Chain A
Amino acid sequence: MDNLGFGLWLTALGMGTVFLLLVLLMVALRVIAWTDRRGRRARDAAASGTPAGPAARGAAGDAAPAEPPSGLTDDEVAAIAIAVVTHARVRRLQAAPAMREHEPGSHLFANRWVGIGRGYQQQPWRRGA
């Protein structure tokens, strides 16, 4: 019974401390995130030449949505992503059968590359090779 009491006491105290510590950590993380956002807003405002106060933020918010960091719209990013994937696929299909037999990234695909590399290294097309 003593052991059970000790175990329960330890659980209450231990979990209480763990929760308390992690709540403190959560608060600290939120503060860091808040200062980070604040700093970014101030930098953005300085770059666009407008003051970084709440009124200015409101006015800026009403006027236009925030620009993405890359300067590209969502549609442009999607189009680029599709183009990259399509290009990779076309290149794979155009490649030699040995290379396109297996999905790039797989061990078997890597093995093919090793095989081809060895083939080149030995230069079988050269006389006396």
Chain B
Amino acid sequence: MSGESIDQLFAGLSNVTWQSLVMLLVGGALIYLAIAREYEPLLLLPIGAGAILANLPLSPLVGEGGMLTVLYDVGVANELFPLLIFVGIGAMTDFGPLLENPKMVLLGAAGQFGIFLTLILALLLGFSREEAASIGIIGAIDGPTSIYVSGILAPHLLAPITVAAYSYMSLVPIIMPPVMRLLTTKRERAIRMTYSQRPLSRRTRVLFPIVVTIVVGVLVPFATPLIGCLMLGNLMRESGVVERLTHAASNEIANVVTLFLGLAIGSTMQGTAFLLPSTLAILGLGLVAFVLDTAAGVLFGKLMNVVSGGRFNPLIGAAGISAFPMAARVVQKEAAREDFSNFVLMHAMGANAAGQVASVVAGGVLLALVAG
């Protein structure tokens, strides 16, 4: 047996680097968070697995013809996977609470302040304009939007941005409450709001996705792929005539695409490209973006409280983000903490649904301003 054959047999061992070892640990940590802590397991588990598979020495899964690279080229590089996920999200989301109370749309807009404030911070830290916009979009608190925007503006930052977006999204119940309590008084948190359910006709529910697509698509063409796919899913759901498609979009397609997306994102977490000071900065700025979003929402809620003569509970402002329906649940929990019989969930759901539309709009606006 020649020395060359032996070298080839142990090629894996001789190609282990400290970066790949660290990334194996990072992948393991993501899998741990997914399994033991149940933090966004649907995505963090495939991402962790992708990171491990991509960082094994001489991994045939990455590189030309490798499965993970093929997945990346097929669905992430051309933005297909995030858009397919948006169809699924649209098929799963009930925009009824928003349609019953259209003024909640404003809270959705306020919840996007974090994007732009984080963008300013990223610029001050020395990131380029495209990179800063990609980091800022973590503040949309919406995984597919973050992937879509950063995939176009700064593909080299896709991995840390995705990991930050999804990790912090699962930490919404931990990140939001302290900010909400800090910015509101006990009296404000205990404000009760009357809720009267308004019957919505099928026509209204069907018209909503069509109108939103046309209004947003005409005014911000960059947002058309995002809003178009989100609203396509919702149109299928509300039309009630394509049950099989709705079911497939929200289950089979969403599940398969989530797996592929996770693996493809994980494969971009290669040690040499991921273990940089900028990754730490992105993780830090992502947290700042979440805090700023919550703070801006609550402050806008306080403004609405003043305008309404003290009848608006400012906590609801914090629900104007895209983490649906987690943010609404957190708001309800905080309101009930102050007054157990206070029921603000449906108002918060309205703001949360608005946050979903608004985050997509903000993503399109950001793309138009920076990439346009």
Chain A residues within CB distance 8 Å of chain B: 3-4, 6-8, 10-11, 13-15, 17-19, 21-26, 28-30, 32-33, 36, 39-40, 69
> Which of A14, A15, A25, A29 meets B216, CB within 8 Å?
A25
CB contact list, B183-216 vs A, under 8 A: 198-201, 203-204, 207-208, 211-212, 215-216
Could you show 21 A-B contacts with beta carbons less than 8 Å apart?
A4-B124, A7-B119, A10-B119, A10-B369, A11-B116, A14-B116, A15-B109, A18-B109, A19-B109, A21-B215, A21-B220, A21-B361, A22-B361, A23-B106, A25-B105, A25-B357, A29-B99, A32-B208, A36-B203, A36-B204, A40-B201
Q: Is the CB of B219 within 8 A of A32?
A: no
| Chain A: CB-nearest residue to B100 | A33
Query: Secondary structure at chain B's binding surface: helix, strand, loop or mixed?
Result: helix
A8 to B117, CA, bound (A): 9
In the complex, what residues of B have CB within 8 A of residue A24's CB?
215, 219
> Which of A8, A11, A29 meets B105, CB within 8 Å?
A29
| Chain B: CB-nearest residue to A20 | B219
Quick one: given A15-B116, A26-B105, are A7 and B365 in contact (CB under 8 Å)? no
Q: Is B333 in contact with chain A by the CB < 8 A criterion?
A: no
How many B residues touch the partner, as a band?
A: 35 or more
Query: Secondary structure at chain A's binding surface: helix, strand, loop or mixed?
Result: helix
In the complex, what residues of B have CB within 8 A of residue A13's CB?
369
| Chain B: CB-nearest residue to A17 | B365
| Chain A: CB-nearest residue to B103 | A26
A6 to B132, CA, bound (A): 11
Q: Is the CB of A15 within 8 A of B105?
A: no
> Which of B112, B124, B133 meets A15, CB within 8 Å?
B112
Q: Is the CB of A18 within 8 A of B358?
A: yes
In the complex, what residues of B have CB within 8 A of residue A29's CB?
98-99, 102, 105, 208, 211
